[in-house]
Amino acid sequence: MKLLELEDVLELVGKLENSTEEESAADRFRNYLSKNADSVGILKEYVEECLEKSGSQYNRALQDVVNHIGRLLGFEVKFGRYQGVSTEIGFDGFWISPKGGSIVVETKTTDTYSVDTSTLLNYRNKLVSEGRIENKEDSIGLYVVGESKYEQIENDIIANKREKEIRVISIDALLNLLEIKEDYEIDHETVLNLLKPSGPEIDPTINLIFDLVSQERRESVEKETEEEIETEVTERSYYLLPVQNEEDETAREILEALLGKGVWGLGERTQFRKKFEPGDKLCFYAVRTGVLATATVGSEAREETHPAITSEEYPFVMDVKGVEWLDQPVELTEEVRGQLSAFEDKDPSGSWGWFVQGTSKLTERDFQILTGKG
């Protein structure tokens, strides 16, 4: 059964608002998530829709989705209020671990606006005062942020020496953790330990694990792809390259800047860096948007600086040519994933972040599908 898009779900449940009534819109939405949104794939789509659209309805839906992720990670979750009042503690979520310990959660769509981390700490201290947290030392505050960069919150944590009391994580990394837990049967205690590391940042730990897991999956798919490619009459290879939004540039803007100059930047550990050859075909996937453009490799990668590539993370440069922009982005919907040979032995409705976590080698047929020509 194809699940409803978030916009349709919210229209059915009604306006999300604080209510003590049974069967409120909030209850209906949370029950819907509990019964239907049990895959990382659908949760990613819901998160993306919340971040792309504006308004309190989507901000509140995001808060509930984050708490639902907490449930799937094995916590007992107490949903907080959408809008605080002086008579109640204003946390967004209160996650209680069956292994002991708890997490007081605050969800933020962005790190753009100033955040005083003492507010979240006060929520935790009030829960301690009310006896809802037995051991203060075994409880932390956690900011869950819609963006992958959150320097303002991180700096406030460090400046006020709250590294042992407050953590910050992006929603993408939280979903990566859920995907790892589901696919590799990581127990809840391990999840809890990952959320309570030694520093304020959680992303590096989770993303390192996710990268290793994704590499294993890609290698499996690539081996199958190589075997399939050997049977094809072709002298070129096909690749999908993911592009992330940066703090001050969207993925499209990054693509326009680099492809407009006829170059592409590669990192030391970029998959297939040494295998790109002139004539190979590339398609570029913008996170939360879809495949936007194609190009042809114009040269092997070489180590040099280029004025269009300002990040030190990409010391290698590769020429590209024949850039073509798609009229409409090709989104990696469940329907599209179901057509790809890379998902031949996998459930297209399940987790798929591994496919766009790094450079992926494609069959010619998959390339045609992903560029709207299949």
Structural domains in the chain, sorted by start: 6-201 (3.40.91.30), 216-370 (3.10.590.10)
Q: CB of 65 within 8 A of CB of 59?
A: no
User: pLDDT tens digits for 332-341?
Assistant: 999 999 999 9
pLDDT at 340: 94
Residue 121, Ramachandran bin (φ over 0: left; ψ between -120 and 50: alpha; else beta): alpha
What CA–CA distance (Å, rounded) separates 362 from 366?
Answer: 6
Residue 35, both tokens: 């019964």
Whether 55 has a pLDDT exceeding 60, the answer reads yes
Instruction: For strands 281-286 and 263-266, give the pairing.
Output: unpaired
pLDDT at 233: 41
Measured in degrees and rounded to the nearest 5, phi and psi for residue 9 equal -60, -45
Whether 207 has a pLDDT exceeding 90, the answer reads no
Whether 43 has a pLDDT exceeding 80, the answer reads yes
User: What average pLDDT score do residues 112-134 get?
Assistant: 90
Helix ranges (DSSP H) in the chain: 6-13, 25-36, 40-52, 56-72, 118-129, 151-159, 171-184, 188-195, 203-230, 251-260, 334-339, 364-370
The single-letter code of the amino acid at 362 is L
pLDDT at 1: 42
Q: From the centroid of its chain, how far is CA 83?
A: 26
CA distances (Å), 128 to each of 89, 188, 277, 320, in order?
A: 11, 23, 61, 59
Kindly tell me the burial class for residue 173, based on how many C-beta atoms sit within 10 Å of its own C-beta (0-12, 13-18, 19 or more). Answer: buried
pLDDT at 223: 60
What CA–CA distance (Å, rounded) separates 257 from 160?
Answer: 39
What CA–CA distance (Å, rounded) separates 50 from 272?
Answer: 34
- Considering the chain, what is the average pLDDT of its residues? 87
CA distances (Å), 135 to each of 31, 170, 352, 374, in order?
A: 31, 26, 38, 58
User: pLDDT tens digits for 126-153?
Assistant: 999 999 998 888 899 999 999 878 888 9
> What does the DSSP 8-state code read for residue 280?
-
* Residue 211 banded pLDDT, cuts 50, 70, 90: low
pLDDT at 363: 94
* Residue 182 banded pLDDT, cuts 50, 70, 90: confident
> What does the DSSP 8-state code read for residue 138?
G
pLDDT at 110: 84
Helix (H, G, I), strand (E, B) or coil at 162: coil
Name the β-bridge partners of 265: 317
pLDDT at 232: 46
pLDDT at 346: 84
pLDDT at 197: 65
Q: CB of 313 within 8 A of CB of 328?
A: no
pLDDT at 189: 83
Residue 263, both tokens: 């170059």
Of 294-298, 317-321, 358-362, least confident by mean pLDDT is 358-362
Q: CB of 279 within 8 A of CB of 296?
A: yes
Whether 174 has a pLDDT exceeding 90, the answer reads yes
Whether 122 has a pLDDT exceeding 90, the answer reads yes
Residue 182, both tokens: 């589901």
Q: What angle do CA 199, 204, 205 make, to 5 degrees?
A: 80
Sign of CA dihedral 32, 33, 36, 42: positive
Whether 106 has a pLDDT exceeding 90, the answer reads yes
pLDDT at 115: 86
